[in-house]
Structure 1
Amino acid sequence: MSIPKYDELRISALNILLDGRSMKLKDFVEPLAKEFKLTEDEINEMYPSGNGHIFYDRISWALSYLNMAGLLDKPGRGIYRISQKGIDMLKSKTPLAINEFVDHEVSKRDKSKKTNRNPEIALTDISDRSTPQEKLYTSFNNIRNSIYDEILTTILNKTPSAFEKLVVLLLQRMGYGGEVKNSGLVTKKSNDGGIDGIIKEDILGFGRINIQAKRYRLDIAVGREEIQRFVGALAVAQSNKGVFITTSYFSKGAIEYVENLYGSTTVVLIDGKDLAAYIYDYGLGMQVEQTIEIKKMDTDFWDSMADQ
């Protein structure tokens, strides 16, 4: 039997979790391989590039789509558990109806334009009418967005103090603090004055970037009042530079308040989607899994040769 596509694995994965247990991704390999009667060679078959097992990767995508549709929960990084919605649909809907629902929900996420910048990450559908290059770029962006989701889920399972350390490390990785030794500092809770972290921009510490870090659930907005309190904390700290970082998103009022700040105070807002993108782009806690080279004809080289 050939290796099943990721959409063919979704119903079976749901059924495995129907007893309410939580499972890691790798724990799905054996029961799904047994159900689909796969050989050892099929289970271990690699992509032509040699990077990654095909069956494992398809299980990963099946679980990701089920999670995005709300049929699975992720109580921890790489851990899956069936949701109440998933239980209800398994009991009341046909496999075809469930798959159509999942595809619809994923498509809806992509089409919805959220004016509040909620960092819910969408995957883009790959049309059969797309060119091979368009499919490649879309696949790349889908993989990237899937990792963004995993980054935010992981952060939400860490402590607030761990998040504060993370954002200080991120700003340092982005180049703030330069060559200054020990340029990043996480403030003590007992005396932080509304400031969670500090980046020193020069050796003597005359220039400072003050940080506020809020580890909020993705659906809880940071409001105008919280930004105003942060600006007040900057004034007390006699600082004119601040970065407010959250795992969620900023309300319209918060964004407008920052845009209309007058005087010498500058506040930069980084929401969950931007945070995940910066962590990904600057390689903080990330590993390069695969490198693909796409080549094209060098027209200058070929045009320099005589035509027949």
Structure 2
Amino acid sequence: MGIPKYNEMYLPLLKALGDRAVHTNREMADTIAEILGITQQERQQFTLTSGVSVFSNRVNWACTYLKKAGLVESERRGHHRLTDEGYQILQNPPQLLDNNFLCKYPSFQDFYLAESSSAERSSSPSESDETPQDLIDHAFSSLNQKLADDLMAEIMSKDPSFFEQLVVKLLQKMGYGGSVSDSGFVTQQSNDGGIDGIIREDKLGFDQIYIQAKRWDPEKSISRPDIQKFSGALRDEGASKGLFITTAKFSDGARASAEKQHIVLVDGKRLTRLMIEYDLGVSPIAKYEIKTIDSDFFNGADE
């Protein structure tokens, strides 16, 4: 069913606190997951920017919004219970418990409209069903997708030899060969035998990874025969580890063949993701920090 939006958790959250007892974030999330049928796999999906659980993040924001409306209160950080107003709402819930309904409470309206204005969103509460974290993640994903597209365009504007050098540099950025500058190299194009590059797997060079690098049209697919040809080149070299990396895609047959031959495949989409992750061909233009409470500080751990 997918993970509900934060405002779809309002009523389940009130139900999770329906016994009027104090419950922790974890207890509250467990009960909401049971009510909504959220699977363990769904609970282990993480946000792009903060690395926290998407489900837990939305539960926490739902709790924040209900607190702003005065339906939930916190005895201390991470421990919540229903207020009298929250209990009354739970006994006779509206047909739709959403931000429009919560705006009947002045404290929520002041908070919500101020937040909407700062985010340059509509002042209509019903139009917002994403938490600030969701908005950040979506923006981050969109920016990275555009960057990936721009990277691919730049790669395709270069000649194949540039791409082979790029692949070796990427593996070095990823830590193969340690800090040794000559840990990888591109083979001679006239006599490479189907091997485009070689890189050490460790600092001392006890093992090597043989590379096939194909700068092909991103809309085309590498097929099974291409993998088999590379596998034959690996056997000729007595190699046990191969990496086939391309700007294109891989057919299902190619993937099945590579799995049998223990050849690692990297297609165009994964290639650009790795370049972004390891800062190859890209540079930062801005950095943002998302901060949270330092529990150790408030618990006296630094004393």
TM band (smaller chain): 0.5 to 0.7
Letter in 1 for 2:198: I
CA positional deviation for 1:146: 1.0
Q: Secondary structure at the match of 2:149?
A: helix
CA positional deviation for 1:202: 5.7
Q: Is the 8 A contact 2:244 2:266 kept in 1?
A: yes
Q: Secondary structure at the match of 1:260?
A: helix
2:280 pairs with one of 284, 294, 298: 284
In the TM superposition, what are the counterparts of 1:223-302 in structure 2 within 5 Å? 223-261=223-261, 266-299=262-295, 301-302=297-298
Q: Is the 8 A contact 2:177 2:205 kept in 1?
A: no
Q: For 2:282 and 2:242, locate their aligned partners in 1 and report how far apart those are by CA, in whole Å.
A: 26
CA positional deviation for 1:203: 7.0
Q: 2:186 maps to what in 1?
A: 186
Q: For 1:233 and 1:251, locate their aligned partners in 2 and report how far apart those are by CA, in whole Å.
A: 20
Q: 1:38 maps to what in 2?
A: none
CA positional deviation for 1:134: 0.8
Q: For 2:221 and 2:257, locate their aligned partners in 1 and report how far apart those are by CA, in whole Å.
A: 14
CA-to-partner distance for each residue in 1:113-133, whole Å, 9 max, x for gaps? Answer: xxxxxxxxxxxxxx7311112
Q: Is the 8 A contact 2:178 2:203 kept in 1?
A: no
CA-to-partner distance for each residue in 1:142-181, whole Å, 9 max, x for gaps? Answer: 1111111111111011100000000011111111112445
CA-to-partner distance for each residue in 1:58-106, whole Å, 9 max, x for gaps? Answer: xxxxxxxxxxxxxxxxxxxxxxxxxxxxxxxxxxxxxxxxxxxxxxxxx
Q: For 1:203 and 1:170, locate their aligned partners in 2 and report how far apart those are by CA, in whole Å.
A: 16
Q: Is the 8 A contact 1:180 1:202 kept in 2?
A: no
Q: 1:212 maps to what in 2?
A: 212
Letter in 1 for 2:254: A
In the TM superposition, what are the counterparts of 1:75-154 in structure 2 within 5 Å? 128-154=128-154
Gapped regions of structure 1 (runs ≥ 5): 1-126
Q: Secondary structure at the match of 1:178?
A: coil
Q: For 1:166 and 1:286, locate their aligned partners in 2 and report how far apart those are by CA, in whole Å.
A: 13
Structure 1 residues 173 and 303 mapped into 2: Cα distance closer, same or farther (>3 Å)? closer
Q: Secondary structure at the match of 1:213?
A: strand
TM-score in terms of structure 1 length: 0.53
Q: For 1:236 and 1:193, locate their aligned partners in 2 and report how far apart those are by CA, in whole Å.
A: 9
Letter in 1 for 2:142: N
TM-score in terms of structure 2 length: 0.54
Q: 1:99 maps to what in 2?
A: none
**What percent of counterpart residues are identical?**
47
Q: For 1:185 and 1:297, locate their aligned partners in 2 and report how far apart those are by CA, in whole Å.
A: 47
Gapped regions of structure 2 (runs ≥ 5): 1-126
Q: 1:173 maps to what in 2?
A: 173
Q: Is the 8 A contact 2:247 2:271 kept in 1?
A: yes
Q: Is the 8 A contact 1:242 1:268 kept in 2?
A: yes
CA positional deviation for 1:257: 1.1
Q: 1:74 maps to what in 2?
A: none
CA positional deviation for 1:267: 1.0
Which has the larger Rg? 2
Structure 1 residues 293 and 235 mapped into 2: Cα distance closer, same or farther (>3 Å)? same
Q: For 1:208 and 1:170, locate their aligned partners in 2 and report how far apart those are by CA, in whole Å.
A: 15
Q: For 1:200 and 1:135, locate their aligned partners in 2 and report how far apart those are by CA, in whole Å.
A: 41
Letter in 1 for 2:171: L
Q: Is the 8 A contact 1:180 1:201 kept in 2?
A: no
Q: Secondary structure at the match of 1:193?
A: coil
